[in-house]
Amino acid sequence: MSRLDDAKAAVTDLSRPERWVLTVSVGFALFLLAALLTGGLGPTYFLFLVGLAGMYALLSFGLNAQWGYTGLINFSVAAFFGIGAYGSALMTADGSPIAGGLSPLVGLAVALFVALLLALLIGIPTLRLRADYLAIASLGLAEVVRLVVLNERWLTNGSAGVRGIPGFFAGWPVLSTFPEAMPGLRLEVVPGSPVFLETAFWQASLNVLLVLAFAGATYFVLRRAHRSPWGRVLRTIRSDEDLARALGKNTYSFKMQSFVLGSLIMALAGVFYTHLNLYVGPGDLDPITTFYAWVAVILGGSGSNRGALFGGIVIVAIREGTRFLNDVALPVDPAPLRLLLIGVVIIAVMRYRPQGVLPPQRELIWPSAVDGGGRPERPDSGVRERKGGGDGE
Protein backbone atom coordinates (compact mmCIF):
# COMPACT_ATOMS: atom_id res chain seq x y z
CA MET A 1 0.00 0.00 0.00
CA SER A 2 1.42 3.40 -0.99
CA ARG A 3 1.75 6.39 1.32
CA LEU A 4 -1.08 8.09 -0.61
CA ASP A 5 -3.37 5.14 0.11
CA ASP A 6 -2.35 5.28 3.77
CA ALA A 7 -3.21 8.99 3.89
CA LYS A 8 -6.61 8.36 2.26
CA ALA A 9 -7.33 5.54 4.69
CA ALA A 10 -6.35 7.75 7.63
CA VAL A 11 -8.69 10.54 6.44
CA THR A 12 -11.51 8.04 5.82
CA ASP A 13 -11.05 6.69 9.35
CA LEU A 14 -11.61 10.13 10.87
CA SER A 15 -14.89 10.92 12.58
CA ARG A 16 -17.08 13.73 11.32
CA PRO A 17 -15.87 16.31 13.91
CA GLU A 18 -12.26 15.33 13.20
CA ARG A 19 -12.79 15.89 9.48
CA TRP A 20 -14.35 19.25 10.25
CA VAL A 21 -11.40 20.24 12.42
CA LEU A 22 -8.96 19.04 9.73
CA THR A 23 -10.77 21.01 7.03
CA VAL A 24 -10.90 24.20 9.06
CA SER A 25 -7.26 23.83 10.11
CA VAL A 26 -6.06 23.31 6.54
CA GLY A 27 -8.15 26.24 5.33
CA PHE A 28 -6.83 28.49 8.08
CA ALA A 29 -3.24 27.44 7.36
CA LEU A 30 -3.70 28.22 3.66
CA PHE A 31 -5.17 31.60 4.57
CA LEU A 32 -2.14 32.43 6.74
CA LEU A 33 0.22 31.21 4.02
CA ALA A 34 -1.50 33.42 1.44
CA ALA A 35 -1.33 36.40 3.81
CA LEU A 36 2.35 35.67 4.41
CA LEU A 37 3.27 35.46 0.73
CA THR A 38 1.32 38.55 -0.25
CA GLY A 39 2.85 40.69 2.49
CA GLY A 40 -0.35 40.99 4.50
CA LEU A 41 1.30 39.21 7.43
CA GLY A 42 4.93 39.75 8.36
CA PRO A 43 7.04 36.57 8.71
CA THR A 44 8.26 37.58 12.17
CA TYR A 45 4.72 38.21 13.39
CA PHE A 46 3.63 34.91 11.88
CA LEU A 47 6.24 33.05 13.92
CA PHE A 48 5.22 35.06 16.98
CA LEU A 49 1.66 33.76 16.53
CA VAL A 50 2.95 30.20 16.27
CA GLY A 51 4.90 30.67 19.49
CA LEU A 52 1.89 32.18 21.25
CA ALA A 53 -0.29 29.25 20.13
CA GLY A 54 2.31 26.86 21.51
CA MET A 55 2.31 28.71 24.83
CA TYR A 56 -1.48 28.49 25.17
CA ALA A 57 -1.30 24.83 24.16
CA LEU A 58 1.09 24.27 27.09
CA LEU A 59 -1.30 26.03 29.48
CA SER A 60 -4.15 23.90 28.15
CA PHE A 61 -2.08 20.72 28.53
CA GLY A 62 -1.35 21.61 32.15
CA LEU A 63 -4.97 22.32 33.01
CA ASN A 64 -6.09 19.24 31.11
CA ALA A 65 -3.74 17.07 33.20
CA GLN A 66 -5.50 18.39 36.30
CA TRP A 67 -9.11 18.89 35.29
CA GLY A 68 -9.44 16.62 32.28
CA TYR A 69 -7.66 13.65 33.84
CA THR A 70 -8.44 13.92 37.55
CA GLY A 71 -11.25 16.44 37.91
CA LEU A 72 -9.19 18.94 39.93
CA ILE A 73 -10.57 22.46 39.65
CA ASN A 74 -7.61 24.84 39.43
CA PHE A 75 -8.30 28.56 39.03
CA SER A 76 -4.66 29.55 39.50
CA VAL A 77 -3.35 28.89 36.01
CA ALA A 78 -2.11 32.49 35.82
CA ALA A 79 -0.27 32.07 39.14
CA PHE A 80 1.80 29.09 38.00
CA PHE A 81 2.30 30.75 34.63
CA GLY A 82 3.63 33.82 36.47
CA ILE A 83 5.87 31.71 38.72
CA GLY A 84 7.46 30.23 35.62
CA ALA A 85 7.82 33.62 33.94
CA TYR A 86 9.16 35.51 36.96
CA GLY A 87 11.28 32.58 38.17
CA SER A 88 13.24 32.51 34.95
CA ALA A 89 13.24 36.30 34.47
CA LEU A 90 14.64 37.06 37.93
CA MET A 91 17.48 34.58 37.42
CA THR A 92 18.50 35.69 33.93
CA ALA A 93 17.57 39.35 33.37
CA ASP A 94 20.11 42.16 33.61
CA GLY A 95 17.48 44.30 35.33
CA SER A 96 16.67 41.71 37.97
CA PRO A 97 16.53 43.18 41.52
CA ILE A 98 17.89 40.03 43.18
CA ALA A 99 20.14 38.09 40.82
CA GLY A 100 20.32 38.10 37.05
CA GLY A 101 22.92 37.17 34.53
CA LEU A 102 22.54 33.43 35.02
CA SER A 103 21.96 30.89 32.28
CA PRO A 104 18.36 30.41 31.07
CA LEU A 105 18.72 26.74 31.97
CA VAL A 106 19.26 27.82 35.58
CA GLY A 107 16.17 30.02 35.28
CA LEU A 108 14.19 27.07 33.94
CA ALA A 109 15.28 24.84 36.83
CA VAL A 110 14.52 27.53 39.45
CA ALA A 111 11.09 28.26 37.94
CA LEU A 112 10.09 24.60 37.92
CA PHE A 113 11.38 24.10 41.48
CA VAL A 114 9.41 27.07 42.82
CA ALA A 115 6.30 25.89 40.95
CA LEU A 116 6.74 22.44 42.51
CA LEU A 117 6.96 23.92 46.02
CA LEU A 118 3.92 26.12 45.43
CA ALA A 119 1.89 23.19 44.07
CA LEU A 120 2.75 21.11 47.14
CA LEU A 121 1.96 24.06 49.43
CA ILE A 122 -1.52 24.50 47.98
CA GLY A 123 -2.17 20.81 47.35
CA ILE A 124 -1.26 19.31 50.73
CA PRO A 125 -4.02 21.03 52.73
CA THR A 126 -6.73 20.94 50.05
CA LEU A 127 -6.55 17.71 48.04
CA ARG A 128 -7.85 15.59 50.92
CA LEU A 129 -10.97 17.74 50.94
CA ARG A 130 -13.71 18.16 48.36
CA ALA A 131 -12.89 19.68 45.00
CA ASP A 132 -14.60 22.91 46.06
CA TYR A 133 -11.84 23.71 48.54
CA LEU A 134 -9.12 23.41 45.92
CA ALA A 135 -11.10 25.74 43.67
CA ILE A 136 -11.41 28.35 46.43
CA ALA A 137 -7.77 28.00 47.52
CA SER A 138 -6.44 28.20 43.96
CA LEU A 139 -8.56 31.26 43.26
CA GLY A 140 -7.04 32.96 46.29
CA LEU A 141 -3.56 31.80 45.35
CA ALA A 142 -3.78 33.46 41.96
CA GLU A 143 -4.65 36.79 43.52
CA VAL A 144 -1.98 36.46 46.24
CA VAL A 145 0.74 35.79 43.68
CA ARG A 146 -0.39 38.73 41.56
CA LEU A 147 -0.43 41.12 44.54
CA VAL A 148 2.99 39.95 45.74
CA VAL A 149 4.42 40.53 42.27
CA LEU A 150 2.80 43.97 42.12
CA ASN A 151 3.77 45.24 45.58
CA GLU A 152 7.09 43.59 46.53
CA ARG A 153 9.32 45.91 44.53
CA TRP A 154 12.55 44.67 46.18
CA LEU A 155 11.84 41.24 44.73
CA THR A 156 9.95 41.74 41.47
CA ASN A 157 10.48 45.41 40.56
CA GLY A 158 6.76 46.04 41.14
CA SER A 159 4.58 47.47 38.41
CA ALA A 160 7.63 48.30 36.26
CA GLY A 161 8.17 44.61 35.63
CA VAL A 162 11.44 42.92 34.76
CA ARG A 163 13.32 43.97 31.64
CA GLY A 164 16.57 42.95 30.02
CA ILE A 165 15.60 39.28 29.78
CA PRO A 166 17.83 37.40 27.30
CA GLY A 167 16.63 34.90 24.75
CA PHE A 168 16.49 31.30 25.91
CA PHE A 169 19.48 30.31 23.79
CA ALA A 170 21.74 33.13 25.04
CA GLY A 171 25.14 31.67 25.90
CA TRP A 172 24.56 28.48 23.93
CA PRO A 173 27.18 27.44 21.35
CA VAL A 174 26.18 28.36 17.79
CA LEU A 175 22.52 29.05 18.67
CA SER A 176 23.33 32.22 20.64
CA THR A 177 24.81 33.89 17.54
CA PHE A 178 22.60 32.14 14.99
CA PRO A 179 20.19 35.09 14.34
CA GLU A 180 23.03 37.55 13.74
CA ALA A 181 25.05 35.10 11.66
CA MET A 182 22.22 34.41 9.23
CA PRO A 183 22.17 36.76 6.20
CA GLY A 184 19.09 38.81 5.37
CA LEU A 185 17.04 37.28 2.58
CA ARG A 186 14.54 38.80 0.16
CA LEU A 187 11.92 36.43 -1.21
CA GLU A 188 9.40 37.44 -3.87
CA VAL A 189 7.02 34.56 -4.53
CA VAL A 190 4.19 36.90 -5.52
CA PRO A 191 5.36 39.69 -7.87
CA GLY A 192 5.31 43.04 -6.11
CA SER A 193 5.06 41.52 -2.61
CA PRO A 194 8.58 40.80 -1.36
CA VAL A 195 9.12 39.04 1.98
CA PHE A 196 12.20 39.97 4.02
CA LEU A 197 13.83 37.43 6.37
CA GLU A 198 16.13 39.33 8.70
CA THR A 199 17.62 38.90 12.17
CA ALA A 200 14.27 39.22 13.95
CA PHE A 201 12.91 36.38 11.80
CA TRP A 202 15.74 34.02 12.71
CA GLN A 203 15.35 34.97 16.37
CA ALA A 204 11.64 34.13 16.16
CA SER A 205 12.53 30.83 14.49
CA LEU A 206 14.53 29.84 17.57
CA ASN A 207 11.56 30.70 19.79
CA VAL A 208 9.28 28.53 17.67
CA LEU A 209 11.81 25.71 17.89
CA LEU A 210 11.81 26.06 21.67
CA VAL A 211 8.05 26.01 22.10
CA LEU A 212 7.68 23.10 19.68
CA ALA A 213 10.18 21.16 21.78
CA PHE A 214 8.32 22.00 25.00
CA ALA A 215 4.85 21.32 23.60
CA GLY A 216 5.88 18.20 21.67
CA ALA A 217 7.57 16.59 24.67
CA THR A 218 4.63 17.49 26.91
CA TYR A 219 2.10 16.10 24.44
CA PHE A 220 3.81 12.73 24.11
CA VAL A 221 4.39 12.41 27.86
CA LEU A 222 0.73 13.18 28.60
CA ARG A 223 -0.46 10.92 25.78
CA ARG A 224 1.57 8.04 27.16
CA ALA A 225 0.45 8.77 30.72
CA HIS A 226 -3.20 9.00 29.70
CA ARG A 227 -3.19 5.46 28.34
CA SER A 228 -1.10 4.00 31.16
CA PRO A 229 -2.43 2.34 34.34
CA TRP A 230 -1.60 5.62 36.10
CA GLY A 231 -3.89 7.48 33.71
CA ARG A 232 -6.68 4.93 34.20
CA VAL A 233 -6.52 5.50 37.95
CA LEU A 234 -6.80 9.25 37.40
CA ARG A 235 -9.85 8.82 35.17
CA THR A 236 -11.42 6.55 37.76
CA ILE A 237 -10.82 9.20 40.43
CA ARG A 238 -12.50 11.78 38.25
CA SER A 239 -15.51 9.54 37.60
CA ASP A 240 -15.90 8.08 41.10
CA GLU A 241 -13.27 8.75 43.74
CA ASP A 242 -14.98 6.44 46.25
CA LEU A 243 -14.71 3.58 43.78
CA ALA A 244 -10.98 4.22 43.28
CA ARG A 245 -10.49 4.30 47.03
CA ALA A 246 -12.47 1.06 47.43
CA LEU A 247 -10.13 -0.57 44.90
CA GLY A 248 -7.20 0.19 47.18
CA LYS A 249 -5.85 3.25 45.42
CA ASN A 250 -4.33 6.11 47.39
CA THR A 251 -6.41 8.80 45.71
CA TYR A 252 -4.71 11.61 47.61
CA SER A 253 -1.31 10.61 46.25
CA PHE A 254 -2.59 10.31 42.69
CA LYS A 255 -4.35 13.67 42.86
CA MET A 256 -1.19 15.28 44.17
CA GLN A 257 0.86 13.80 41.32
CA SER A 258 -1.64 15.08 38.77
CA PHE A 259 -1.77 18.53 40.34
CA VAL A 260 2.02 18.85 40.46
CA LEU A 261 2.41 17.63 36.89
CA GLY A 262 -0.12 20.15 35.56
CA SER A 263 1.43 22.99 37.56
CA LEU A 264 4.91 22.26 36.20
CA ILE A 265 3.59 22.35 32.63
CA MET A 266 1.95 25.73 33.29
CA ALA A 267 5.25 27.03 34.70
CA LEU A 268 6.96 25.74 31.55
CA ALA A 269 4.62 27.95 29.51
CA GLY A 270 5.66 30.92 31.66
CA VAL A 271 9.36 30.22 31.09
CA PHE A 272 8.82 30.20 27.35
CA TYR A 273 6.76 33.40 27.48
CA THR A 274 9.36 35.37 29.42
CA HIS A 275 12.09 34.50 26.89
CA LEU A 276 9.74 35.16 23.98
CA ASN A 277 8.52 38.56 25.15
CA LEU A 278 11.85 39.57 26.82
CA TYR A 279 9.76 41.38 29.43
CA VAL A 280 7.34 40.29 32.14
CA GLY A 281 5.07 42.43 34.29
CA PRO A 282 2.17 42.05 36.74
CA GLY A 283 -0.33 42.51 33.91
CA ASP A 284 0.71 39.12 32.52
CA LEU A 285 -0.76 37.49 35.63
CA ASP A 286 -4.28 38.82 35.09
CA PRO A 287 -7.15 36.31 35.56
CA ILE A 288 -7.86 36.46 31.83
CA THR A 289 -4.97 34.00 31.30
CA THR A 290 -6.75 31.44 33.50
CA PHE A 291 -10.00 32.14 31.67
CA TYR A 292 -8.40 31.52 28.27
CA ALA A 293 -6.91 28.21 29.43
CA TRP A 294 -10.27 26.99 30.72
CA VAL A 295 -11.99 27.99 27.50
CA ALA A 296 -9.37 26.11 25.47
CA VAL A 297 -9.86 22.89 27.48
CA ILE A 298 -13.66 23.09 27.41
CA LEU A 299 -13.68 23.88 23.70
CA GLY A 300 -11.33 21.04 22.77
CA GLY A 301 -12.83 18.48 25.14
CA SER A 302 -11.89 17.71 28.75
CA GLY A 303 -9.35 14.92 28.96
CA SER A 304 -8.30 15.23 25.33
CA ASN A 305 -4.74 16.31 24.57
CA ARG A 306 -5.63 16.86 20.91
CA GLY A 307 -8.55 18.98 22.09
CA ALA A 308 -6.31 21.04 24.38
CA LEU A 309 -3.96 21.70 21.47
CA PHE A 310 -6.85 22.67 19.20
CA GLY A 311 -8.39 24.88 21.88
CA GLY A 312 -5.11 26.73 22.43
CA ILE A 313 -4.83 27.49 18.73
CA VAL A 314 -8.43 28.70 18.54
CA ILE A 315 -7.89 31.03 21.51
CA VAL A 316 -4.89 32.64 19.83
CA ALA A 317 -6.78 32.91 16.53
CA ILE A 318 -9.63 34.77 18.25
CA ARG A 319 -7.37 36.88 20.48
CA GLU A 320 -5.01 38.02 17.73
CA GLY A 321 -7.43 37.84 14.80
CA THR A 322 -9.82 40.34 16.33
CA ARG A 323 -7.05 42.95 16.30
CA PHE A 324 -7.42 43.15 12.54
CA LEU A 325 -11.18 43.58 12.62
CA ASN A 326 -10.60 47.30 13.12
CA ASP A 327 -9.43 47.41 9.51
CA VAL A 328 -12.82 46.19 8.31
CA ALA A 329 -15.31 48.92 7.48
CA LEU A 330 -18.04 48.09 10.01
CA PRO A 331 -20.39 50.54 11.77
CA VAL A 332 -19.05 49.36 15.16
CA ASP A 333 -15.56 48.66 16.49
CA PRO A 334 -15.50 44.84 16.72
CA ALA A 335 -12.06 44.33 18.30
CA PRO A 336 -13.16 45.14 21.89
CA LEU A 337 -15.86 42.50 21.50
CA ARG A 338 -13.23 39.75 21.81
CA LEU A 339 -14.60 38.35 25.05
CA LEU A 340 -18.12 38.43 23.64
CA LEU A 341 -16.94 36.35 20.68
CA ILE A 342 -15.30 33.83 23.01
CA GLY A 343 -18.51 33.67 25.04
CA VAL A 344 -20.50 32.93 21.89
CA VAL A 345 -18.06 30.12 21.04
CA ILE A 346 -18.51 28.61 24.52
CA ILE A 347 -22.31 28.77 24.27
CA ALA A 348 -22.25 27.15 20.84
CA VAL A 349 -19.99 24.35 22.07
CA MET A 350 -22.14 23.73 25.14
CA ARG A 351 -25.25 23.64 22.97
CA TYR A 352 -24.05 21.43 20.14
CA ARG A 353 -20.89 19.66 21.44
CA PRO A 354 -21.04 19.54 25.26
CA GLN A 355 -18.27 16.92 25.29
CA GLY A 356 -16.00 19.26 23.30
CA VAL A 357 -14.96 19.33 19.66
CA LEU A 358 -12.38 16.53 20.02
CA PRO A 359 -13.38 14.34 22.96
CA PRO A 360 -10.80 11.82 24.16
CA GLN A 361 -12.43 8.54 23.05
CA ARG A 362 -9.91 7.85 20.27
CA GLU A 363 -6.95 8.79 22.45
CA LEU A 364 -7.77 6.07 24.95
CA ILE A 365 -7.50 3.26 22.38
CA TRP A 366 -4.16 1.66 21.60
CA PRO A 367 -3.49 1.49 17.81
CA SER A 368 -3.01 -2.28 18.03
CA ALA A 369 -6.53 -2.64 19.41
CA VAL A 370 -7.96 -0.63 16.49
CA ASP A 371 -6.16 -2.85 13.96
CA GLY A 372 -7.45 -5.97 15.67
CA GLY A 373 -4.00 -7.13 16.80
CA GLY A 374 -4.78 -6.48 20.44
CA ARG A 375 -8.34 -7.81 20.44
CA PRO A 376 -8.83 -10.31 23.28
CA GLU A 377 -9.65 -13.87 22.29
CA ARG A 378 -13.15 -15.10 22.94
CA PRO A 379 -13.00 -18.31 25.04
CA ASP A 380 -14.57 -21.42 23.54
CA SER A 381 -16.04 -22.44 26.88
CA GLY A 382 -16.82 -20.90 30.22
CA VAL A 383 -14.83 -21.21 33.42
CA ARG A 384 -17.15 -23.88 34.82
CA GLU A 385 -16.71 -26.13 31.75
CA ARG A 386 -12.92 -25.75 31.78
CA LYS A 387 -12.84 -26.78 35.45
CA GLY A 388 -14.80 -29.91 34.71
CA GLY A 389 -18.17 -28.71 35.91
CA GLY A 390 -21.35 -28.91 33.83
CA ASP A 391 -24.97 -28.05 33.85
CA GLY A 392 -25.79 -31.22 35.72
CA GLU A 393 -23.53 -30.54 38.65
- The Cα–Cα gap between 339 and 75 comes to 18
What average pLDDT does this structure show over 166-173?
88
Residue 380: pLDDT band (50, 70, 90) is: low
Q: Report the candidate in 317, 325, 370, 227 with the shortest Cα–Cα distance to residue 21.
A: 317
pLDDT tens sequence across 34-63: 888 887 788 898 899 999 999 999 999 999
Residue 302 above 60 pLDDT?
yes
pLDDT tens sequence across 259-277: 999 999 999 999 999 999 9
Residue 179 above 80 pLDDT?
yes
Q: What percent of the chain clears pLDDT 90, i.e. is strictly above it?
A: 35
Residue 392: pLDDT band (50, 70, 90) is: very low
Distance of CA 54 to the CA centre of its chain: 7
Q: In the prediction, which pLDDT does 391 show? A: 45
Q: What percent of the chain clears pLDDT 70, i.e. is strictly above it?
A: 87
What average pLDDT does this structure show over 127-149?
86
Higher pLDDT, 35 or 378: 35
Q: In the prediction, which pLDDT does 369 show? A: 57
Domain 15-366 CATH (choose: 1.10.3470, 1.10.3680, 1.10.8, 3.30.1330)? 1.10.3470
Higher pLDDT, 251 or 366: 251
Residue 154 above 70 pLDDT?
yes
Residue 208 above 80 pLDDT?
yes
Q: In the prediction, which pLDDT does 370 show? A: 52
Q: In the prediction, which pLDDT does 393 show? A: 36
Residue 212 above 80 pLDDT?
yes
Q: In the prediction, which pLDDT does 61 show? A: 95
Q: In the prediction, which pLDDT does 367 show? A: 55
Structural domain boundaries in the chain = 15-366
Higher pLDDT, 35 or 245: 245
Residue 365: pLDDT band (50, 70, 90) is: low
Residue 2 above 80 pLDDT?
no
Higher pLDDT, 117 or 318: 117
